[in-house]
Amino acid sequence: MSALTVAGLSVRFRRRDGDVQAVTDLSLTLRRGELLAVVGESGCGKSVLAHAILDLLPANAVVTGSVSFADGVPFARGRDIGLIPQSPATALTPVRTGRSLLTETLRVHRRDMAADLVAKEAGLAPGDLDRYPHQLSGGMAQRLATALAIAPDPAVLLADEPTSGLDRPLADQTLDLLRRRCDDGGAVLLITHDLAAAERVADTVAVMYASRVAEHRPAAAFFAGPAHPYAAALLDARPDRAFAPIPGHPPMLTALPPGCPFAPRCARADAGCATLPAWTGGAACHHPLG
């Protein structure tokens, strides 16, 4: 059963020097028990997707398409859908301790659970709850933000770079926490540039490039052999693989090409790539691999 459905979502930011097409005609379904990892280079639209789902976009955003929760049932932020923000330091109230924030969150959502236990689950020492945000390291602030997101026990959790600022053991602990939530029947949309993190916990992977989804397949199949040339190049850029940089640069989101946006960087491109590709084998590509 679906936990979250995104259908034909497009997000455009109006600016004086030209509109920014941050998300283009994006459709995804997140099912209960599923961890869906959305990966891609910085600036491809991953974080905008999360904020669009939560209706947390600025006033200059123009949104089309739809987002529905649990087969069309209306949802409440925090209670039904939680967010682990990409920049936790800016999301925390500077004049309140972590304990105050976490205790209030548990009370408002009527969770009969000790703040220390939630902090421990998120990898934060209970003693650190008595500090103010400016007294926390970046990793501690990230773990506090994670604790605040899971405290209401939301059915769907959007995790926007939740391992940012964490060393590998703590990053793996956070990823395992997200995996457990799915194993217990929840659903997680993990936004990350860390492909090792996605490989560790994801059931499915969606690769974004220049505001669009380029590939969307089961994680095991994706990591065994990606179908889109961009996805293959992304994997080959990993240090544990070829460690080869992707040549060229992504297109400007103010001037997206009419055809395949990856064509100028793709060795397989031909004249046919001047038109948008249809989906073939889980990839939007005229010349999929394999």
Residue type, 137: S
Evaluate whether 175 touches 163 at the Cβ level (below 8 Å).
Answer: yes
Rounded distance between C-alpha atoms, residue 134 and residue 127, angstroms: 15
Rounded distance between C-alpha atoms, residue 30 and residue 26, angstroms: 13
Quick check: 75 pLDDT over 80?
A: no
Strands 204-209 and 212-218: antiparallel
Contacts of 277 (CB under 8 A, 6+ apart): 259, 260, 284, 285, 286
Q: 260-273, pLDDT tens digit by residue?
A: 999 999 999 999 99
pLDDT for position 71: 66
Rounded distance between C-alpha atoms, residue 11 and residue 48, angstroms: 8
Rounded distance between C-alpha atoms, residue 136 and residue 132, angstroms: 7
| 3-state SS class at 22 | strand
pLDDT for position 19: 95
Tell the CATH topology of 2-80+154-284.
Rossmann fold (3.40.50)
Binned at pLDDT 50, 70 and 90, residue 164 comes out as confident
Q: Report, as an integer, the average pLDDT of 248-266.
A: 95
Q: 76-106, pLDDT tens digit by residue?
A: 777 899 999 988 877 899 999 999 999 999 9
* pTM, 2 dp: 0.94
Q: 183-231, pLDDT tens digit by residue?
A: 999 999 999 999 999 999 999 999 999 999 999 999 999 999 999 999 9
pLDDT for position 106: 96
Q: What angle do CA 77, 200, 172 make, to 5 degrees?
A: 75
pLDDT for position 225: 96
Residue whose structure tokens are 């090792």: 196
Where do the domains of the chain lie?
2-80+154-284, 94-152
- Joined together, the tokens standing for residue 184 give 């217990």
Evaluate whether 173 touches 183 at the Cβ level (below 8 Å).
Answer: no
